[in-house]
Amino acid sequence: MPPELTVSIGQHSERGRKDANQDFHGALVPRQPALGLKGVAVALADGISSSAVGAVASETAVKSFLTDYYATPDTWSVKTAAQRVVAATNSWLHAQTRGGPDPHDGDRGYVTTFSALVLRSRTAHVFHVGDTRVCRVSGRSLERLTEDHRVVVSAHESYLGRALGATARVEIDHCAVPAEVGDTFVLTSDGVHEHVRPREIAAEIAAADDLADAARAIVDRAYAAGSPDNLTVQIVRVDALPDGDPTEQLGRFADLPPAPPLDPPTAFDGYRVLRPLHVGGRGRVYLATDGADGPAVALKVPAPDLCHDPVYLQHFMMEEWIARRIDSPYVLKAHPQARPRSHLYTVMRYVEGRTLTQWMTDRRAPDLETVRGIVEQIARGAQAFHRREMIHRDLRPDNVLIDASGTVTLIDFGATRVAGVAEDEAGPDDGAVHGALQYTAPECFLGYAATPASDVFSVGVIAYQMLVGRLPYGGEAARARTRAGQRRLRYVSALHARPLLPAWVDGALRRAVHPDPAKRYPVLSEFVHDLRHPNPAFTDARRAPLLERNPLLFWQGLSLLLGIAVAVLLALLVTRGR
């Protein structure tokens, strides 16, 4: 058998002279094939001491990295996968601070330093933000692989220049060094390396029979030297390495060819492809089984016309990672990956059901309670995205599945925007519209980045369509590409088609699909609540202008008044003529 990556790990952490330990550390050595595809990951974070939630930030950073890194597509490079995971975690931490009691005080926010070591094949990758350190034993001392992001003001004053959660976007240091058998890497928090010299750390590692004992001895040295901070040490020794390099084992994103259209029934990469489920402009989906007798899966291959578009392929491969990061009964889950891939494709769990489009065709004018139940499930699924700082951006009836029991599942994450991963996180978007035009929020047509309120618009349009059978603005919303055009949009009251509908339900729909995001529900939970509970602001239907409630009646009435005015003027002219 060829050798595989084998490591020994020793770790130790103590609160030291602090009341609580705000350091957090972890390591993960997966089984094959993840060991060959992703390697070994070790991470250390140190929450800032001025914040009561520093420990939460450090724990979140480490746990998210060790979980989400292994959920990234196998075709991503280590650098791409790790940096996107760290960037997404940074956005989540920063959002928690913005939503907390001190949104503008970073010293009390969800802020932490972070360092990670990923050993894959014969390469060691280091990712770093803050003043934790990653070093490699070199002879009788240590070789530093990271630089402290600490700004020194004076001999007695300094501050972190860079940390996770401190700002909306974070710059992540990365370096890759060749790994050799016998290499020993050391991760330390500042409470250790500021009080124990590199030679002393190397000496403790050389003298110990066990790496855990060495880590404990180094922590004891830091404490004895008077360190006032939390104390954490991780030691990783390379015991064996596989043959070849990472690209020979797997291949990078650009090296794997997109999967071709398949001709069922056929075998493909260990899957038994049975029949096509959907053929669309963004990909082809097939029903398959994992092996001859394995579970049913939905296997999606790229659209042939877009196989040479790197942006499309990037979004395509992110679908599976997004599915692995979200845990919700209302969101499609990714199928566990058990072997390397020869092509680019995604594999999801198969859900037997019909789209909401088909459901609406089969059930004309559904009752209000049924619509509420479906909308609430769609909202819960979308909220699972929002909790992970993601915007679905393509919520439409074709992307909502309903099974025989009435359970909703959201599908198709190719347009999803992930905060921290999107290059345009702050400010205007790239101008591209990523979802179906009829369900896309108006602000996206102006080039602005989608927000949770954008998904609220999409869900509101779906709810309106289920109740009324058409769109609230017809096709005009998709054609309104300027602010002036959007201001001219006129909501057609649902009461016109369904006069027995409660006026406050119509009011909730009107607010959910408002062209101006500032006048729309900011979150889906408020919209769902108002669909079930009368909002006093919407209880009087007469508060809505007649033009919105019943445009036909408005224009008929206006025409009648104009006709009467013309008749009166003609009568006056005739009288004066006499």
Using 50, 70 and 90 to split pLDDT, how confident is the model at 432? low
The pLDDT value given to residue 2: 56
In angstroms, the CA 446 to CA 443 distance is 5
**Could you tell me which residue, 418 or 29, shows the higher pLDDT?**
29
The pLDDT value given to residue 414: 86
The pLDDT value given to residue 551: 59
Q: In three state form, how does the secondary structure of 164-190 look?
A: ECCCCCCCCEEEEEECCCCCEEEEECH
Mean pLDDT of 493-511: 94
- What would the pLDDT profile of 165-205 be if each residue is shown by its tens digit? 999 989 999 999 999 999 999 999 999 999 999 999 999 99
The pLDDT value given to residue 339: 78
Mean pLDDT of 338-348: 86
Mean pLDDT of 221-227: 96
Q: In three state form, how does the secondary structure of 437-482 look?
A: HHHCCHHHHCCECCCHHHHHHHHHHHHHHHHHCCCCCCCHHHHCCC
| Residues 149, 161 contacting (CB under 8 angstroms) | yes
- Is the model's pLDDT at 332 over the cut of 80? yes
The pLDDT value given to residue 251: 38
Q: Which residue has the tokens 């036909």?
A: 552
The residues, any chain, with a CB within 8 Å of residue 474's CB and separated by 6 or more, are: 492
Mean pLDDT of 234-239: 97
- Is the model's pLDDT at 483 over the cut of 80? yes
Count Cβ atoms within 10 A of the Cβ of residue 498 and give its class: 0-12 exposed, 13-18 middle, 19 or more buried. middle
State both tokens at 252.
């990078």
The pLDDT value given to residue 554: 66
Percent of the chain scored above 70 by pLDDT? 90
- Is the model's pLDDT at 546 over the cut of 60? no
Using 50, 70 and 90 to split pLDDT, how confident is the model at 255? low
**Could you tell me which residue, 138 or 282, shows the higher pLDDT?**
138
CA distances from 287 to 91, 205, 262, 326, 519 (A): 36, 54, 11, 23, 43
- What would the pLDDT profile of 260-318 be if each residue is shown by its tens digit? 999 999 999 999 999 999 998 888 999 999 998 899 999 999 999 888 888 888 788 88
In angstroms, the CA 25 to CA 222 distance is 18
- Is the model's pLDDT at 552 over the cut of 70? no
- Is the model's pLDDT at 566 over the cut of 50? yes
The pLDDT value given to residue 549: 53
| Residues 40, 5 contacting (CB under 8 angstroms) | yes
The pLDDT value given to residue 161: 86
Using 50, 70 and 90 to split pLDDT, how confident is the model at 114? very high
The pLDDT value given to residue 478: 87
The pLDDT value given to residue 156: 63
Using alpha carbons, select from 283, 195, 258 the residue that is nearest to residue 232: 195
The pLDDT value given to residue 545: 59
Q: What is the mean pLDDT of the chain?
A: 88
The pLDDT value given to residue 108: 84
- What would the pLDDT profile of 453-478 be if each residue is shown by its tens digit? 999 999 999 999 999 999 999 888 88
- Is the model's pLDDT at 528 over the cut of 70? yes
In angstroms, the CA 535 to CA 517 distance is 19
The pLDDT value given to residue 556: 74
Nearest-Å Rg of the Cα atoms of the chain is 29
Q: Which residue has the tokens 């959201």?
A: 410
Mean pLDDT of 27-45: 92
| Residues 168, 91 contacting (CB under 8 angstroms) | yes
Using 50, 70 and 90 to split pLDDT, how confident is the model at 562? confident
Using 50, 70 and 90 to split pLDDT, how confident is the model at 39? very high
Mean pLDDT of 119-133: 94
| Residues 322, 413 contacting (CB under 8 angstroms) | yes
- Is the model's pLDDT at 1 over the cut of 70? no
Give the CA angle between residues 94, 98, 101 to the nearest 5°: 125
Mean pLDDT of 442-455: 92
| Residues 160, 131 contacting (CB under 8 angstroms) | yes
Mean pLDDT of 67-78: 85
CA 323 to chain centre: 9
Q: Which of 27-41, 146-160, 186-200 has the lowest mean pLDDT?
A: 146-160
The pLDDT value given to residue 440: 94
564-567: list long-range contacts, CB under 8 Å, 24+ apart: none
- What would the pLDDT profile of 373-383 be if each residue is shown by its tens digit? 999 999 999 99
Instruction: Give the sign of the dihedral formed by CA 332, CA 279, CA 389, CA 76.
Output: positive
- Is the model's pLDDT at 531 over the cut of 50? yes
State both tokens at 413.
């994450």
The pLDDT value given to residue 214: 97
The pLDDT value given to residue 249: 37
In angstroms, the CA 116 to CA 126 distance is 6
- Is the model's pLDDT at 134 over the cut of 60? yes
DSSP-assigned letters across all residues of 286-316 = EEEEESSSS-EEEEEE--GGGTT-HHHHHHH
The pLDDT value given to residue 141: 94
Give me the count of residues in the chain. 578
